[in-house]
Structure 1
Amino acid sequence: MDSLKLKTKEEKKIYYRLMLWSFYAVAVIMKNILATKTWKIGFLTAPAAYIFEPVTFIAQDVETETRGYISAKRMIYWGFFLNLIVALACQIAIALPYASAPIIQEAFEIILGNVPRILFASLTAYLIGGTLNVKIMAKMKDKGSSSLFSRAVVSTMVGQLADNLIFASLAFLGVMEVTQIIYMAFSMTLLETIYEIIFFPLTRLYIRKFKELDME
């Protein structure tokens, strides 16, 4: 067991950074895979992917706060690249001759075979929304006039709103009324901002851990 312990500061920093990036990558991929299912609670309806949307922004906030804007942008681009790989892998898997019942193949296609429009909307929204999030957080930190809580919440709120508006417009314009698209984008941004606030103690704890390691 002693061989599994992290003995040096550098080992700890690498370990926690790998955890953060791995968690981020998994959340980004899950978000796209689960976009094919929608849920409804009361008057709210949204893709299941929205459950994981704030997770990616929290990870971006941690990376921006501890490593800076450039490193956070690399994280976003890496997530974009991983999404493309997974989308391509799914299409290859769907195209392979199937040996199971046709109904299983059909279900497989429905769940993993995102139509090009949805995939394009998701990737575009992710790229723009994520970049806005880390840029705003970095700018607010540079000015030194805001708390960590303010930086995290404001940057996430703006990034999420841009992400939701772009995704909903590209994916559903012509299928849904414009008022429905706007309502969905704003309502989901509100819920995701609340999500960010609830999990802010975890965000702060992770940031503090990184900063402590940097100071050792």
Structure 2
Amino acid sequence: MSSEPSTEPNLPPVAPEVLAEAVEQLTARLRKKLDAATRDCAAGAHPGEDGAVTVRFSEDALVTLRPGPGGAVTAAEQATCTCLLAPRCLHRAAVLGAAPLADPADLVAPHPEADPAPDAGQRPDAGAGSGAGAGAGAGPGDGAEAGGGAGEPSGGADGPAPEVLTAAQRRAAAALWRAAAEALAAGVTAGGAVVQAELLRA
């Protein structure tokens, strides 16, 4: 029997925005404790029969992750804690920080394949009704109207206008710049969970 620990993650993958929001809600004092609190969360995770995963910190603090249909935690309400500070608590943010980040494929919920729509060429009344209506309704003025539209200059001939950043986009770019500068100064791994969450939020 091998004595090596299992490399399979005990925690479900988490959407980056869920982790970033949880860390953002922490006070400055709790953020300083986040890295230490995250360390043993994966080892203390216990999967349940209903697909949920729990991590107990104390008698009054039990964190529960309930993944969605795709197997990932994609919404804030899917991560709960029983302590009095929840959802702005260290326990919840620590468990989310210990979980692996979800891949883009994990964030798309599976859905049953819809029946393909019938092909227009396979419907017996597809061509007959439309052809007859088109011939009967055509009049002398139709050709003139069609010709008048053909001679109008195209509005997109000069090319698309340059896009202007909105205020929200400018704020996001500034936040990303600051987070990237901090990460480069400290190193992404050495920066800890708080710096990584800032990058994810930006």
TM-score by length of 1: 0.22
Judging by fraction of residues, say which structure has more strand: 2
Judging by fraction of residues, say which structure has more helix: 1
The higher radius of gyration belongs to: 2
TM-score by length of 2: 0.24
